[in-house]
Amino acid sequence: MIPKSIEQISDQAIAIKWDDGSESVFFAEKVRGACPCATCKEENENKPKANPFKILKANPNDVVFRSWEMVGRYAVRFSFSDGHDAGIFTFEYLKEIGE
CATH number assigned to the domain comprising residue 89: 3.30.2020.30
Residue 51 domain flag: no
Q: Model confidence over 8-44: pLDDT tens digits?
A: 999 999 999 999 999 999 999 999 999 999 998 887 7
Q: Give the pTM.
A: 0.81
Residue 21 domain flag: yes
Name the helix (H) or strand (E) containing 91: helix 91-97
Q: Is the pLDDT of residue 91 over 90?
A: yes
Domain count, the chain: 1
- Give the structural domain span for 40: 3-44+63-97
Q: Which residues contact 84 (CB under 8 A, 6 or more apart)?
A: 32, 35, 40
Calculate the alpha carbon distances from 45 to 33, 76, 93, 97 in Å: 13, 23, 19, 19
Residue 56 domain flag: no
Residue 9 domain flag: yes
Average pLDDT on 70-96 reads 96
